[in-house]
A and B are shown apart, each in its own frame.
Chain A
Amino acid sequence: MSPTRRDFIKATSSTAAVLAVDGRLALDLRAQTVAAPSADAAVIDLANEALNAAKGAGASYVDVRIGRYRRQQIATRERQVAGVNDSESYGLGVRTLVNGCWGFAATSVMTKAGAQNAALEAIVMSRAARAVQARRVELAPITPVTGTWITPVKRDPLEVSLEDKIALLLSTNEAALKVKNVRFVNSGLALLREIKTLVTSEGTNVTQTMIRVGPSFSATAIGSGDFQSFEEELAPRGSGWEYVESLNMPGNAERWASMAAEKLTAKSVEAGQWDLILEPTNLWLTIHESIGHPTELDRAIGEEANYAGTSFVAPPEAVIGQLRYGPAIMNIQADRTQEGSLSRVAWDDEGVPADRWLIVEKGVFKDYQTTREQVARIQKLTGVSRSHGCSFAESWNAVQFQRMPNISLLPGDRDIGVNEIVADTQRGILIRNRGSWSIDHQRYNFQFSGQAFYEVRNGKIAGMLRDVAYQSNTPVFWRSMDMIGGTASYWLGGAFNDGKGEPSQINSVSHGCVPARFRNVTILNTARSS
């Protein structure tokens, strides 16, 4: 193990460390020009109204979240704008514990009476829940915090003029339409600024501003009686406008669109067992589905059984420190501090400071994702007495529960990239960008596709393929990983729309990884005519 590698793992055990997974120092404060705003006095007053009403009505614990969400979405097709939408959502959610039972109520009536009514409605929920209570909720202790935080950005995307945004997208489309057979192009931007204040009966009072950008691009080529699309993997990030500019969409669009046209004449894949080389633009989602979700503690204990499902990483006493997930080169890190990542925050929705910890160490499962009420369930097994800070709600109108942090495959020791992996492969398929994805409710059987597929023969790329999907079983798949890229090949993907819970909530989360090779994976041909 190289010194870099040792330092890397060491850094993961220290919450004070600021080394980012990509090897660069994470917090370059000189780059940040947008300051973190404090909460309005009126917001704090409303939060206290709700807090005091709930305490007065008998709550043993109360938290109040007030959120103001501003979203802007711009969609274009070919040479026109398909839609410009700007929305604002503002409201208050209050969560109460009475006799160890949760209650939650939310309202957009932002008056003293509205806040009080929501608090009392939450109390009604808590009291009603006592009719069905086998277990009392107990929260792991925390030290109350006060403060403000903002996603480090140079330029808030919502402050960029609409003309500039539309010009960027339309010039992107224009470049794509130069490609022969490319008839349709869609590009867009989804922008978010979320200002969230959390006040709790334990004395926490924090206000955070999260800024996220999500660019998109896809092109469709029409052949004779056939059509093929290509979607570029433009990762959404917790970043400013400078990130969108760095993608150089107009400069790259012709190359992206040509992939759709090239797919029209690509060879249909021969189904069977192949070695698989996954670029980070594809592998991040496989990590999300096959490692991120099964290591959520609420799934492992059955709380998600009726919707997203349970987990093969269960029961905790049989898997912590025991389950071999993959080879010794496999280290999986959860991290809410990572620069540019979507789930980066300073505190979660219970006021727990952002954390970084290993989920899988040298191939062995080590720890779950947790919230405060979950800590006691596994504390004796992990020795961890704090929450990992995974409590989140998608909006003021939704109750917080356990959500996934950024979960990433750490780079290997060898300074290699995808080219070296290809050169080392006799017969394989290289996959770029995410396509279709699906996985079972205990996270064993999965089937993923991609956007561009290449046959690898005798260490060289030997042409494009199509109709490709890979299907495997999570532990079998990860145990077949035998080669991974080094730090220079690390890339951070992610999505705004990770779904879980009832009512279903979305979560924004990033996953970093390096290219990796998997041996003898089942490849399907997805073309079908009857």
Chain B
Amino acid sequence: MAQAPRPAASQSQLLTREQAQALANRVLAMSSAEQTRVTIVSTWSGNTRFADGSITTSGGITDTSVTVTVTFGKRQASSSTNVLDEAALKRTVDLAAQLARLSPEDPELMPELGRQPYPAINAFVESTADLDPEARASAVRRAMTAATQAGKPAGQIFTAGFLEANARAFAVATSNGLFAYHRTTDADFSVTARTPDGTGSGWARSGARDWNAIDTASIGRIAAQKAVASRSPQTIDPGLYTAVLEPQAVNDLVPLLGNALNARNADEGRSPFSKPGGGTRIGEKVVDERVTLYSDPMDRALLGQPFDNQGLPLSRTVWIEKGVLRNLAYSRFWAQKHGVRPTGNALAGGLALTGGTKSTEELIAGCSRGILVTHFFYIRALDPRTVLQTGLTRDGTFLIENGKITRALKNFRWNESPLLMLNRLEDIGRPEPTEAGRLMPALRVRNFNFASLSDAV
């Protein structure tokens, strides 16, 4: 007979700073390369998925992986493993060295970084890292109960959803003396509610570093209310309409600008931020003058990653300030070539769009005729020259008339660009947390291109 089941412990299984440093030092000592970098990722994840009154899957996963990057002259390669015994680590170091020696010289290779200063960012919350299966099941039950209650006008509401809590420790060490360590947590909860007649669907989501910031009953209730209100949707012709995008819909679209915020692509003429004739559009007005878009790991509402995979410190990076393009992402190589400060992977420091103070309700109240969007689905790039995307509305699309929601609408496929859209703003809401590391407002956008109708509920 096995021992009695124990509660699923969590953060105790993440590597501590001391353990990570000891492991990194062990690996560095095994390498005889000219330069070596070790990155360590130690994770715990607990999840619970439910549908139609039952928990359908539930899981707890722990893992720690080590990546070794070695350099000989201008030759570099990486190898990684999650087998942490002496023999496996040595094999991984040797394989990286072997691959590096076989690789051609990389003229763009930068030396590994030495010791760096990092700000202390407390992004690790015990309540998230300790969320056990019983607590997750209770949270799911609270959401289902609230959804059932709020869904009563439509009958027996169907709910499906997902709860996930993650804890992660991330460390980087180099043979040049760098050591960086950061711990973080995040939790996410979402519910989809569907009415029994099959004509209504609603959705709500909340995400945060701190599990205690998530009210699962409220998420269940909002999803069900949207489902009830979205029943029997009516058809209006596709076309250009004013759109009120809830913060989650903005969260689906605006971060897609991140791929375009790359200095090299802009310099090379393959970006919307390329200047005709060469160079970038830094310093030019690229969107509405009320909009500011930034990444900042120190921002208390973002609590992003303080360094990137090379150990480069990440700091506040303002991409767009009052409509003007201020920064693009510069790798260390590209920054050196252009004599500017490298931003590294600054987007890992979180992303926030600011510029307004109103609530979503106030944006709706200020709209004479338009379409309210809960969130988007299946977004794919159409044209990198304009960051044009296609996708669909989902789980609550409504007509606004004279400042009020008047009717449920069928879903639309849309073809729209977050960049072009930010040039057609009527109003901007206050930034709200949409997921861990993100602050996005509701937006009211003129001439949003709702291109075709979808029969999907």
Contact = CB atoms under 8 A, between A and B. Distances in A.
Contacts of A447: 390, 413, 415, 452
Nearest to B85: A110
B203 to A, nearest CB: 8
A181 to B, nearest CB: 11
A104 interface: yes
Contact of A226 (B80, B158, B385): B385
Nearest to A435: B382
Contact of A528 (B79, B99, B415): B415
A57 B6 CA distance: 11
Contacts of A246: none
Given A121-B60, A445-B392, A437 B96 contact: no
Contact of A438 (B48, B390, B417): B390
Interface string B34-75: 000000000001011111111111111111110100000000
A503 B160 contact: no
A117 B4 CA distance: 10
B133 interface: yes
Contact of B60 (A105, A302, A436): A105
A181 B104 CA distance: 26
A131 B80 contact: no
A252 interface: no
B276 interface: yes
Contacts of A131: 55, 134, 137-138, 141
Interface stretch (A3-11, A25-33, A82-90, A272-280): A82-90
Q: B4, B386, B392: which has the most chain A beta carbons within 10 Å?
A: B392
A101 B58 CA distance: 9
A110 B141 contact: no
Given A86-B80, A440-B378, A399 B59 contact: yes
B394 interface: yes
Contacts of A397: 61, 63
B136 to A, nearest CB: 7
Contacts of B59: 103-106, 125, 398-399, 503
B120 interface: no
B385 A102 contact: no
B60 A106 contact: yes
Contacts of A527: 383
Nearest to A77: B108
A163 interface: yes
B378 A439 contact: yes
Interface string A449-474: 10000000000000000010101010
Contact of A436 (B55, B107, B381, B456): B381
B365 interface: no
Contacts of B383: 467, 526-528
B379 interface: yes
A229 B383 CA distance: 10
Contacts of A162: 99, 102-103
A421 interface: no
Interface stretch (A34-42, A303-311, A352-360, A489-497): A303-311
Contact of A88 (B60, B81, B191): B81
A312 interface: yes
B7 interface: yes
Contacts of B79: 85-88
B8 interface: yes
Interface string A427-440: 00000000011111
Interface stretch (A132-140, A147-155, A192-200, A412-420): A132-140
A82 B1 CA distance: 53
A445 B415 CA distance: 13
A119 B81 CA distance: 23
Nearest to A161: B102
B202 to A, nearest CB: 11
Interface of A: 52-53, 56-57, 80-81, 83-91, 101-110, 116-117, 119-129, 131-135, 161-163, 166, 170, 183-184, 220, 222, 225-227, 229, 301-307, 309-310, 312, 397-399, 401, 436-445, 447, 449, 467, 469, 471, 473, 502-503, 522, 524, 526-530
